[in-house]
Amino acid sequence: MVRFIPAPTSASPPHLEDQNTHGLLSAGGCVGEVELVDMLHKAEVSADLERLFGCELHTDTHGGNAWVDPGSATRSICGCEFKNIRFRVFQDAGEVTLRAKLVLQSGETLNSLPVVDREWRRFLSDLIHRSSESGVSPALEGFLNRSIWRKLMPVPYCFARIGLARGKQMEGKCWLMLDSLFPQPNAAWSDGL
Amino acid sequence: MSSLENLDESRALELSRQCVASKLPFQALPGDDDDLVETGLLDSMGWVDVLISVESATDIRGFGDIWPEGRAKSIRALADMIREARRRVPGEKPGESFAAGAQGGPEVSIGAWGYALGAVTVSTDQIESECAIPPHKIRNGAGIRSLQVAADTEDELTLGQRAAEAALEMAEIPAERIDFLVATSTTFLNLPSFAASLHSRLLLRETSGALDVGGACVGLIYSLAVAKSLLRMSSEAVALVVASEVHSRRLNAPHVPGEFRGLFGDGACAFVLTRGQRNSLAAPADRGGHAAVRLGDFVWGCSATFASSLGAKWGGNAGLTVQFKGEQLAHAAVTQMERILEILENKSGRPRTEVDYFALHQPNPRVVEILAEKAKIPLGRIPLPSATGGNLGSATCGISLCQALTDLRARPNPPQPPLIFMAAVGPGLIWGGAFLN
């Protein structure tokens, strides 16, 4: 848990939740994952796409990520339960990018969401590191979508927080991203690697 | 499907330019050799969106997932990658060989399978008590030892998903490899339809089709027939066929006779179909696998003489109303399924004595026993999911087929190729059959 003092903030829509603070101090104690998800359920949540950001979502290509018009969105973050998830990994010499595809309770899908969740990105980096160290180079995507998926999906609190990236000035689009994904990955999940 | 198989350099370049331009709507298009990331025109997120845009436009699955080290992230490099991918097997992701045997051949095979049953086991005593049926009638009369019904958390989608995931796992392919889904469910009455809802639930790719097929208890056989035809008619290589039923909820209505409701359980089955001959889809030969089972001819018809033996109406204040003449229906089912077996003998040119397994619709196990006796087929060659699960509607003969295929797979020296007859009847009476070898 942390303690902070809110500072005056001039948030521009749709990033109305952004809050400047004075300092960020540990307040001791720790909230478990189940409790955390329980609390997030009490914040902004939606079972369908339209209520995620209070506006229509748009896509440019089949299977591509969705975006919203910054002027229409009424918030920039929202939680949702999901019924299924698939990962996709893009690798090049310099970088590994993790994308996810989700199906919500409503049956609607979100494609190619950039996963910016710190723990999941760290987990992916560890997987890559471990596989290169051990010389075992499994198809990373297959490992995520089979072994990790089997550990993730039975958890009773599958929950995602979807955020809006800040729109580029000229583009006029706020792209969706996967800010937090619960359950958070467990280092032991990569044991089968 | 793409018509880009013979893509020349200029067309590949043009396509790459379009995909890059869609990400840079307010900027002049960079030169073909400019590195889009190094020049700062795109960040890594934007670059991935370009890759997805190319994938969507060309239907090259997994396009750019692993970008070659040292290659520029330029329009020309994209065009080169498109042409290289096209020179490989169209539609195949590098490193994936599932559909490698599925090019151009006219034959369609079942490559993998899976099934799921409702999680709750209900005893016959409980069924008889709940459905106001005289004691022992379900066990002794129908031959059902228990029912498997859906838990509160389960429905047609969850069962269908579980069956499909099992089949995909056996096939060792990701869901993205499925070119189209053919699905059937009598009990799923919602819109979006069962196929559309399951397509979403499985996170199949947006360019893969979703098609619903009717047919009640014959629905799976009709779905296999439709999938086979589509695979043979198109350049699509991999189909997923799913049947899923949750009777326990749908039949739990005041106007449904207890002796009808008490026969039904909940379950789902799924099959991965591929075009072309492929060895050992379910288990490679070096892991004890056997040849894939080829879908042979299908037969079907509608014998309205028996139409009044079973009918159901939805709607109105009464909800679901079922008209059910048990003995007449059992007699009609046995007669019709025996006729289907005769037709399959003629179609396949093989007598029933040579058949390894019969995957049959099972109104209840007793009806199957009567059929086996009448048709002179050993009961041991009919996997009987209805004995412990109940009548599972369209999924019944599919789960019976799954159990037969699993049995074959476990045999040290399975017949090469095995011969399986499928037969089912449904209200109407519609009927259908197929042979697999």
pLDDT in tens, B278-311: 544 445 444 445 557 999 999 999 987 777 778 8
Identical fold for domains B9-84 and B108-281, yes or no, is no
What is the Cα–Cα distance from A114 to B48, expressed in whole angstroms? 9
Taking CA atoms, B323 is separated from A51, B216, B310, B320, B326, in Å, by 44, 15, 6, 10, 10
φ, ψ (nearest 5 deg) of residue A58 = -125, 150
Residues 6+ away with beta carbon under 8 Å from A43: A79
Mean confidence (pLDDT) of chain A: 89
pLDDT at residue number B5:
55
- Quick check: B264 and B250 in contact, CB under 8 A? no
All structural domains of chain B with their residue ranges: 9-84, 108-281, 293-436
Whether A100 shows a pLDDT value over 70: the answer reads yes
How high is the pLDDT of residue B258?
87
Report the CATH number of the B9-84 domain. 1.10.1200
Max distance between CA atoms of chain B, in angstroms, equals 82
The verdict on a CB contact (< 8 Å) between A91 and B66 is yes
What helix, strand, coil percent values describe chain A, rounded to 5?
Answer: 25, 35, 40
Q: Measured between alpha carbons, how far is residue B397 from residues B110, B246, B319 in Å?
A: 15, 15, 28
Q: Is A178 on the interface with B (CB under 8 A)?
A: no
- Chain-chain contact of B69 with A92 (C-beta, under 8 angstroms): yes
Does residue A183 have a cis bond before it (omega within 30 degrees)?
yes
The tens digit of pLDDT for each residue in B247-274 reads 999 888 887 888 888 999 999 999 999 9
> Which residues in B lie closer than 8 A to residue A109 (C-beta atoms)?
200, 203
Report residue B437 as tokens.
């070898």
* B1 lies within 8 A of chain A by CB: no
| Measured distance CA(B382)–CA(B369) in Å, rounded | 9
Rounded CA separation B226/B330 (Å): 28
Chain A residues touching residue B22 (CB < 8 angstroms)? 60-61
- Mutate one of B16, B26, B35, B45 to test the A interface: name it (highest A CB count within 10 A): B45
Whether pLDDT at A117 is above 60:
yes
pLDDT in tens, chain B (437 residues): 444 556 788 999 999 999 999 888 778 899 999 999 999 888 888 899 999 999 888 878 888 888 988 899 999 999 999 998 877 654 444 434 444 444 445 789 999 999 999 999 999 999 899 888 889 888 888 999 999 999 999 999 999 999 999 999 999 889 989 999 999 999 998 899 999 999 999 999 988 999 999 999 999 999 999 999 999 988 888 999 999 999 999 888 887 888 888 999 999 999 999 987 554 444 544 444 555 799 999 999 998 777 777 888 877 766 788 887 878 888 889 999 999 999 999 999 999 999 999 999 999 999 999 999 999 999 999 999 999 999 999 999 999 999 999 999 898 888 888 999 999 999 988 999 999 98
Q: How far is CA B191 from CA A83, A106, B212, B252, in A?
A: 18, 12, 11, 21
Closest CA to B336 of B380, B384, B375: B375
User: Is B211 in a helix, a strand, or coil?
Assistant: strand
Top pLDDT among A42 and B2 is at A42
User: Cβ neighbours of residue B364 under 8 Å, at least 6 residues apart?
Assistant: B142, B143, B144, B263, B330, B386, B390, B391
Is the CB of B65 less than 8 angstroms away from the CB of A91? yes
The pLDDT score that the predictor gives to residue B144 is 94
Please tell me the predicted confidence (pLDDT) of residue A136.
53
pLDDT in tens, A23-40: 888 888 899 999 999 999
d(CA B267, CA B247): 9
Q: Which of B434, B432, B364 is nearest to B216 (CA)?
A: B432
C-alpha B75/C-alpha B142 separation (Å) is 68
Q: Do A107 and B207 touch (CB under 8 A)?
A: no
Rounded distance between C-alpha atoms, residue A89 and residue B62, angstroms: 9
Other beta carbons within 10 Å of A47: 13
- CATH assignment, B293-436: 3.40.47.10
The architecture of the domain spanning B108-281 is: 3-Layer(aba) Sandwich (3.40)
The pLDDT of residue B404: 96
Q: Is residue A23 helix, strand or coil?
A: strand
How many residues can be counted in chain A?
Answer: 193
Query: Can you tell me the distance from the alpha carbon of B437 to that of B431, in angstroms, rounded to the nearest whole number?
Result: 21
Q: Does B189 touch chain A (CB under 8 A)?
A: no
Question: How sure is the predictor about A138, in pLDDT bands with cuts at 50, 70 and 90?
Answer: low
Any B CB within 8 A of A64 CB: yes
Residue A102's SS3 state is strand
Distance in angstroms (rounded) separating the CA atoms of residues B276 and A137: 30
Whether A114 contacts chain B with CB within 8 A: yes
Which amino acid type is present at position A43? A
Q: Tell me if B79 sits within 8 A of B249, measured CB to CB.
A: no
Site from B200, B202, B207, B208 to mutate, A interface, most A CB atoms within 10 angstroms = B200
- CA distances A51 to A42, A108, A166, Å, are 15, 12, 19
Helix axes B156-171, B194-201, angle to 10 degrees: 60
Q: Using a CB-CB distance cutoff of 8 angstroms, which residues of chain B are in contact with residue A102?
A: 203
pLDDT digits (tens, 9 = 90+) for A14-26: 988 888 888 888 8
Q: Do B56 and A84 touch (CB under 8 A)?
A: no
Q: Is the pLDDT of residue A7 over 50?
A: yes
pLDDT in tens, B351-394: 999 999 999 999 999 999 999 999 999 999 999 999 999 999 99
